[in-house]
Amino acid sequence: MARIKDYFSLVVFSHTIFAMPFALIGFFLAIRFSGYPFNWITLILCIGCMVLARNAAMGFNRWADRYIDEKNPRTAHREIPKGIIKGKAALAFSVINASLFILVAGLINPLCLKLSPLAVLIILGYSYTKRFTWLCHLILGLGLAIAPIGAYIAITAQFHWLPLMFSGIVLTWVGGFDIIYALQDQHFDKSNGFFSIPSKVGIRNALIISTILHIITFMLVVITGIVAGFGLMYWIGSAIFTILLFYQHLIVKPNDLTRVNRAFGTTNGLASVVFALCLIIGLYI
């Protein structure tokens, strides 16, 4: 019988760190610029929504890809192919988390409740995009880009251009590093008819496209800082974020993919945490 830690492994819980800092950015931007008071309950509900949404998305992705993962040597060790977690159990886990996400969103405010089914559609629908479009990387980015605008709406119950700018940052940042991650499956995807940028244009050109997306990320970071009038701490965080952003392009080469996991996990996780921490501190000093 599967244990709790097996489900944490199934969803790679540590990777929640990619989107969580940007959700916190949206949350504190709303408090700082809208004048709404800080509320611990709303913060906990926002964090709960993030965790539940990601659990639902990853659980569903593992279920949807269970037969693909069996065939791919890189993923054959995952929980479902190895029989640690049954496919039906993973699907049930995803459905429960998605349902709880909608419930918690409803506890925040009516607009969050109305938008929650759309969010679920995006984050679960991503799992099938690799079957028909090489834009799957950007759709993954879109799923995580919901975080800052969602957290902002949780506080204000309205849209605003500023969190949308951070959503754009997340979209291009995630799309770029997901292309790097997909380099590992370039040959498998191409031989099995799956869509990804590396399988479509090759490893070298995929790295170029990833670099372009991260250049756009950098430009959005700069434009956002200028237009919003952020202070020194924002620019310190932006500098560190940018250095780490492009560091991954230095350590991943077309003929050497041995450091893809370092680029994908460690570097991007650290980048998001530092960026968010500097920005949030800068809002209050």
Sequence ranges of the domains in the chain: 4-283
Q: Supply angle C-alpha 253, 258, 259, rounded to 5.
A: 75
For 125-184, write each residue's pLDDT tens digit. Answer: 999 999 999 999 999 999 999 999 999 999 999 999 999 999 999 999 999 999 999 999
pLDDT at residue 2, rounded to an integer: 67
pLDDT at residue 285, rounded to an integer: 80
**Is 4-283 a CATH 1.10.357.140 domain?**
yes
Distance CA 111, CA 239 (A): 35
Q: What is the pTM of this model?
A: 0.94
Residue 67 DSSP label: H
Check: CB of residue 117 under 8 Å from CB of residue 146.
Answer: no
The alpha carbons of the chain give a radius of gyration, in whole angstroms, of 19
